[in-house]
């Protein structure tokens, strides 16, 4: 079990060492994702949904330069000429290959130069006295930003065609999966949502606030491929009454028949999937992944259930009825270890249902952290008392009905970018991300007694 202190409790020198470790560890992951393919693959656009990998790499360096070298460090710009190219708000993903981007060698040199300056800065900067540097927040933000782009680059690898280039061990199996109840009850009452104390939490996770949540049932595990197949076999993709009007319009427009990356084998009687270049039978006990919000919602309706609200999801994941506290993670306050959750690209797929018993929440639900992002029913909105930090473009400009909240992280999410309070958001039609879901339902009369 990991007993490392969180940045909230570290002394200053310990905090510097922790930041240095996190930066180095994160850069090793970026290197795996960009060194595993040749230059042609780095420059190429593998899907109009994604940037070329070489854009992500230099963009990571550009943000690091802007926030750490220039803002925190007060140093002059290294490459002011490329700021515009790597501004995600100025060029949409599909247009990025046409830009005069840095080539692979130049991009690697640039991110290395930026990182050297950041390590120099880290040795001497005061980690207090200004909100941006307090508890090394800006460094934590940059670690999370690079890790988020690493997950995006992993999704680009999944979209890439050709021979496999990434390798990893299979995830652990679930010993007691057969004995788990299909759903667990979370009693009604107040709980504290969000955080005001987690030093590296982002603006949209703040502040902590009490919310009242009625009793609900939530699935013990995410919905599996085997369960999702029953929805397909029951005509789920052909029954408009199971879908919202927008969902059905999308299903028809995109001609959806199954999760993304699934295809029927030659005889048509078996489903196969492509996973990082491997074509293999769809594993029945693994959480379904690469489904949109609309597919998740249609499945839930078919199952006689609904998607959990974001408040319900967080209460299931964090509320400890014994202490009345909200935990940092389902298992407690310790940072994630390999026994707790499938995070950090340690495996290249979700673990079977019921894995990670040590990561169970007080309510008994499993795999809330890691494996697959989970769609919730809730629009991405600010918490009461929200204030944008360090800039409006981080979260505020995305608030509104266009985006749905996803929770919990996936096998491709690093622990540094995943907490019980962490909020992700995306369009309800998005399928290339590592997203699945679990269902919830309101108890029937007498069921909670
Ligand atoms: Fe970014």
pLDDT digits (tens, 9 = 90+) for 292-332: 999 999 999 999 999 999 999 999 999 999 999 999 999 99
- Quote the ligand 1 centre to 159 CA distance (angstroms): 19
- Quote the ligand 1 centre to 303 CA distance (angstroms): 37
Q: In the chain, what are the domain boundaries? A: 12-159, 171-449
CA pair distance 345, 245, nearest whole angstrom: 36
CA pair distance 60, 51, nearest whole angstrom: 13
CA pair distance 346, 410, nearest whole angstrom: 11
Q: Are 261 and 275 in contact (CB under 8 A)?
A: yes
- Quote the ligand 1 centre to 139 CA distance (angstroms): 15
Decide if pLDDT at 3 tops 80: no
Confidence (pTM): 0.96
Residues in the annotated binding site for gamma-L-glutamyl-L-cysteine: 93-96, 426, 430
When the candidates are 1.10.1060, 1.20.120, 1.10.260, 1.10.3470, the CATH number that belongs to 12-159 is 1.20.120
- Quote the ligand 1 centre to 127 CA distance (angstroms): 24
pLDDT at 4: 56
- Quote the ligand 1 centre to 165 CA distance (angstroms): 24
Q: Which pLDDT tens digit goes with each residue over 6-29? A: 788 899 999 999 999 999 999 999
Q: Are 404 and 375 in contact (CB under 8 A)?
A: yes
pLDDT at 39: 97
Q: Which helix (H) or strand (E) holds 263?
A: strand 262-264
Residues in the annotated binding site: 59, 93-96, 145, 149, 426, 430
Q: Which residue has the higher pLDDT, 191 or 92?
A: 191
Q: Are 242 and 374 in contact (CB under 8 A)?
A: no
- Quote the ligand 1 centre to 359 CA distance (angstroms): 30
| C-alpha dihedral, 310 to 316 to 322 to 325, nearest 10° | -30
pLDDT at 273: 98
Q: Average pLDDT for residues 395-412, to the nearest whole number? A: 98
* CA 290 to each of CA 100, 235, 262: distance values in angstroms, whole numbers, following the listed order: 32, 19, 9
Q: Average pLDDT for residues 371-399, to the nearest whole number? A: 96
- Quote the ligand 1 centre to 419 CA distance (angstroms): 19
Nearest residue to 410 (alpha-carbon basis) of 234, 173, 151: 151
- Quote the ligand 1 centre to 150 CA distance (angstroms): 10
- Quote the ligand 1 centre to 283 CA distance (angstroms): 33
pLDDT at 449: 62
The CATH topology of domain 171-449 is 3.90.1580
Q: Which pLDDT tens digit goes with each residue over 28-81? A: 999 999 999 999 999 999 999 999 999 999 999 999 999 999 999 999 999 999
- Quote the ligand 1 centre to 99 CA distance (angstroms): 17
pLDDT at 71: 96
DSSP at 420 = T
- Quote the ligand 1 centre to 176 CA distance (angstroms): 40
pLDDT at 269: 82
- Quote the ligand 1 centre to 60 CA distance (angstroms): 7
The average confidence (pLDDT) of the chain is 95
Q: Average pLDDT for residues 128-149, to the nearest whole number? A: 96
């Amino acid at each position: 079990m990991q007993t490392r202190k969180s940045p909230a409790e570290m002394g200053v020198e310990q905090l510097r060492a922790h930041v240095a470790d996190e930066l180095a560890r994160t850069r090793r992951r970026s290197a795996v994702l960009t060194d595993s393919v040749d230059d042609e693959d780095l420059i190429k656009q593998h899907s109009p949904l994604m940037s070329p990998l070489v854009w992500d790499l230099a963009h990571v360096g550009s943000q690091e330069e802007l926030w750490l070298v220039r803002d925190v460090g007060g140093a002059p710009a290294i490459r002011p000429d490329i700021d515009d190219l790597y501004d995600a708000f100025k060029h949409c993903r599909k247009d990025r290959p046409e830009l005069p981007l840095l080539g692979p060698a130049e991009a690697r040199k640039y991110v290395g130069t930026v990182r050297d300056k950041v390590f120099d800065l880290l040795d001497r900067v005061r980690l207090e006295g200004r909100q941006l540097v307090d508890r090394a927040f800006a460094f934590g933000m940059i670690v999370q930003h690079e890790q988020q782009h690493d997950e995006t680059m992993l999704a680009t690898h999944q979209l890439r065609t050709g021979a496999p280039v990434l390798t990893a061990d299979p995830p652990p199996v679930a010993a007691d999966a057969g004995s788990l109840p299909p759903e667990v009850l979370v009693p009604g009452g107040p709980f504290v949502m969000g955080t005001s104390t987690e030093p590296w939490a982002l603006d949209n996770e703040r502040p902590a606030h009490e919310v009242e949540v009625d009793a609900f049932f939530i699935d013990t595990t995410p919905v599996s491929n085997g369960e999702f197949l029953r929805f397909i076999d029951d005509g789920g993709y052909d029954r408009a009454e199971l879908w919202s009007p927008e969902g059905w319009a999308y299903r028809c427009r995109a001609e959806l028949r199954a999760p993304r990356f699934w295809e029927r084998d030659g005889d048509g009687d078996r489903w196969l999937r492509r996973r990082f270049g491997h074509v293999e039978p769809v594993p029945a006990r693994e959480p379904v992944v690469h489904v949109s919000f609309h597919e998740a919602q249609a499945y839930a309706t078919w199952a006689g259930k609904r998607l959990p609200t974001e408040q319900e999801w967080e209460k299931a994941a964090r509320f400890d009825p014994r202490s009345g506290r909200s935990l940092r993670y389902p298992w407690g306050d310790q940072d994630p270890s390999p026994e707790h959750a499938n995070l950090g690209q340690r495996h290249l797929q979700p673990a079977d249902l019921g894995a990670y018993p040590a990561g169970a929440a007080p309510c008994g639900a499993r795999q809330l952290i890691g494996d697959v992002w989970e769609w919730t029913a809730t629009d991405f909105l600010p918490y009461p008392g929200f204030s944008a930090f360090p800039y409006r473009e981080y979260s505020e400009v995305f608030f509104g009905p266009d985006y749905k909240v996803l929770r919990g992280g996936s096998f491709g999410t690093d622990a540094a970018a995943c907490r019980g309070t962490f909020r992700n958001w995306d369009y309800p039609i998005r399928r290339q991300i590592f997203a699945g879901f679990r269902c919830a339902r309101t108890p029937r009369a007498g069921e909670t007694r």
